[in-house]
Amino acid sequence: MYIYYYTAIGGRILVIKRMVPMKTKFRSAVDGWFSVLALLFPSMLIVILVLSIESADMIILIVLGVSAFIALGLPILLFTTYYIIDSGKLKIRSGPFSWVILLSDIKAVRPSHSALSSPALSLKRLEIQYGNNKSVLVSPKDMDGFRNAINVA
């Protein structure tokens, strides 16, 4: 995207054309196993909780209730895990967690299949190394577009 500035110098009108980076949003790829887990697990826990209300001890109900509450957060990740490239920054969002990385701090980007916890809903991931020995795993749907957008091939 370009922004045009008009200025008058010495009786002439000059046009200054300046490129402004556009905000680009990449959604996370989602593996089938995660979709099933995110939708089925909370449902199963709620059904078990409802069926065991009359016959279970209070401690079991508390454990099931807390587990169901935590499990309800999984479907939220399906809609809130994305990556935004804007104004020289990579903004990563996954549920209540977020990261901001300056594009100039990125040292390397390489493919990964690590199962470590990360803001990635697929095991087909990119490891982004930045700063002083820091890294984060992401899984954009459009891997090539993402890599091009952060100018690391």
Looking at residue 153, what is its pLDDT?
37
Question: What domains appear along the chain, each with residue ranges and CATH number?
Answer: 23-30+81-149 (2.30.29.30), 33-74 (no CATH)
> Which pLDDT belongs to residue 18?
58
Each residue's pLDDT tens digit in the chain (153 positions)? 455 556 667 767 766 665 555 788 999 999 988 888 787 877 777 777 777 777 667 777 777 777 777 777 778 888 899 999 988 899 999 989 999 999 999 999 999 998 888 898 999 999 999 999 999 999 999 998 899 888 753
- pTM, 2 dp: 0.71
SS (H, E, C) the chain: CEEEEEEEECCEEEEEEEECCCCEEEEECECHHHHHHHHHHHHHHHHHHHHCCCCCCHHHHHHHHHHHHHHCHHHHHHHHEEEEEECCEEEEEECCEEEEEEHHHEEEEEEECCCCCCCCECCCEEEEEECCCEEEEECECCHHHHHHHCCCC
pLDDT, position 87: 84
pLDDT value, residue 93:
96
